[in-house]
Amino acid sequence: MKAIILSQFYAADLTDAVRGVIGSEPVQVPDAVSCADELADADILFCQPSLANATLVAAINRSPRLRWVQVLGSGVDNFSRITEERAKTLIVTNAAAAYGDAVAEHAVALALALLRRVPELVVAQASRQWIKPWLTDELSSLEGASAAVVGFGAIGQGIARRLDAFGCSVVAVRRNLGAPAPKGFEHVRFAPLEEALPQAELLFLALPLTQDSTKLIDGRAFSLMPRRARLINVSRGSIIATLAMMAALESGALAAAALDVFEHEPLPPESPLWALPNVLISPHVAGRGNRCVGRRMNEICLANLRAFLEGRLA
């Protein structure tokens, strides 16, 4: 059985773990082109999503022997060009649970930075200004606030758990509103997006990018939110209609936004988002810097690998 590993972060540990299960040496590849060259006789692909370009997806479509792609991340949108015919015999799984707590921690940190005016503090320190008279009336708190969390998988649940600890009430938006609440979240109220937005002093986006979620947060969505609300996006940039967001930020309808993801990455130097004083830019690093992610990634991949070999993975 041939397994390929395409990853900048997990290749070494994953190679040792996979070898121990399949009994052969996985093939490590440095980039999508090298990966595409190896796919013809491969059974399994472990792939970092940011490295899955059009060349690699085209090669997947041409590789009938390939039966499983384990995405080493949360989003599978880079694999959306897998053909319907190929998808009939191909299993694609993600590893959102590996990143859930890490991304959630970053999301709440971004929210606190906006509420506690950390960017303004940094600017004031650089210019040696004591801004207490102005700052006192500009500070806000998570305690007593109301937040909407859109998307309630591993990341959304991690955000809700942390907000609850701060005394922030949460309304969650998910696809299946009628499903029972996950264990530990019985107190969370679930509502459609149109009902959640008017309560969203803080709006957290933690949902996957799909055809239905593209530009989901548009001008109408911003108009439903309380004036001077704050937006935190740790999902995908294309979930937001960027021009509508900028208009809301410039008009003051939206007080501020903290963005870890963008429609085009890296964010181009000419993007007007860089110049907006009420935008906090984070360069898609929400899942980085957490020492537990690698361990959870290995656990997820090995559990899925055993399930695949036993015919239990679907």
Active site residues: 236, 265, 284
CA distance 174 to 191: 8
**DSSP three-state, residue 105:** helix
Output the six-digit token pair for 201. 């002093």
Beta strands in 144-270 (DSSP E): 146-150, 169-173, 189-190, 202-205, 229-233, 254-259
**DSSP three-state, residue 171:** strand
Measured between alpha carbons, how far apart are the two ends of the chain, in Å?
19
Which amino acid is present at 43?
D
Contact 43, 1 (CB under 8 A): yes
User: What size, in residues, is the chain?
Assistant: 314
Output the six-digit token pair for 87. 């998808």
Burial of 218 (0-12, 13-18, 19+ CB in 10 A): middle
Contact 287, 73 (CB under 8 A): yes
CA distance 128 to 108: 28
Residue 59 Cα distances to 47, 81, 261, angstroms: 13, 11, 27
The closest of 200, 222, 196, 209 to 153, measured between CA atoms, is 209
Contacts of 181 (CB under 8 A, 6+ apart): 188, 190
